[in-house]
Amino acid sequence: MSLYKQWTDMVVEYVKARGEEAFWNEYMQIETALYKDILAKHKEVLTCKIKDLASNQNTTEEFIMGFIDGINDSLKNPLDLEAVKADDEITLEVDLEKLYFNMLDAKAEYLYTLPQWDGIFSPEKRKEIQKKYRESVIVRNENKIGRNDPCTCGSGKKYKKCCGK
């Protein structure tokens, strides 16, 4: 069984046994500690083994795999999660702008407000990324039918007198 599958199975069992809130409390502590370390050393590319990272963080390999799952979309070279093993050497070269954007998308305020971001992006740069994020979630309907446009059903009437009633 792959480590990724072990991670997903462990989440299900953990939530069944202890509840969703307990899971998120434990996971968020691990995730926050890892991000603090990565952001503090943001100029270095992290190369490690999952089992070593788990040992350093005093947690399980499954929780570290969950962290890898979360950060994978923000890596310059994403990993094949199904193929990663606990003793494989992995490289986490993080695209910091993408990471900040993804943290906003995940609504992970506890992560995108970490003080370590101060040494990476200026407040202006963070506002620029936040603006890009907000624009990306705005839904625009380009094909909106106006009240006085011909009805789309083909009746020849104005939309407001036909299907728009």
**pLDDT tens figures, 62-87:** 999 999 999 999 999 999 999 999 99
**Against a cut of 0.95, is the pTM above it?**
no
**CB of 145 closer than 8 Å to CB of 152:** yes
Across the chain, how many H-helices and E-strands are there?
7, 2
Residue 58 lies in a domain: yes
pLDDT, residue 152, reads 86
Q: Report how far residue 134's alpha carbon sits from residue 145's, in angstroms, rounded to the nearest whole number.
A: 25
Q: Report how far residue 106's alpha carbon sits from residue 136's, in angstroms, rounded to the nearest whole number.
A: 13
What is the crossing angle of helices 50-57 and 61-71, to 10°? 110
pLDDT band at 42 (very low <50, low <70, confident <90, very high): very high
Q: Report how far residue 104's alpha carbon sits from residue 14's, in angstroms, rounded to the nearest whole number.
A: 26
Residue 78 lies in a domain: yes
Residue 64 lies in a domain: yes
Residues paired with 90 in a beta bridge: 48
Residue 161 lies in a domain: no
**Cβ count within 10 A of residue 106:** 12
- Beta strands (DSSP E) in 31-157 are 46-49, 89-92
Residue 144 lies in a domain: no
pLDDT, residue 1, reads 85
Domain count, the chain: 1
Residue 75 contacts by C-beta under 8 Å, 6 or more apart in sequence?
Answer: 92, 93, 94, 95
The mean predicted confidence, pLDDT, of the chain is 94
Asked if pLDDT for residue 142 goes beyond 80, the answer is no
pLDDT band at 3 (very low <50, low <70, confident <90, very high): very high
Provide the domain limits for residue 104. 3-137
Residue 56 lies in a domain: yes
Residue 14 lies in a domain: yes
pLDDT, residue 67, reads 96
C-alpha 112: how far from its chain's center? Answer: 11
Residue 149 lies in a domain: no
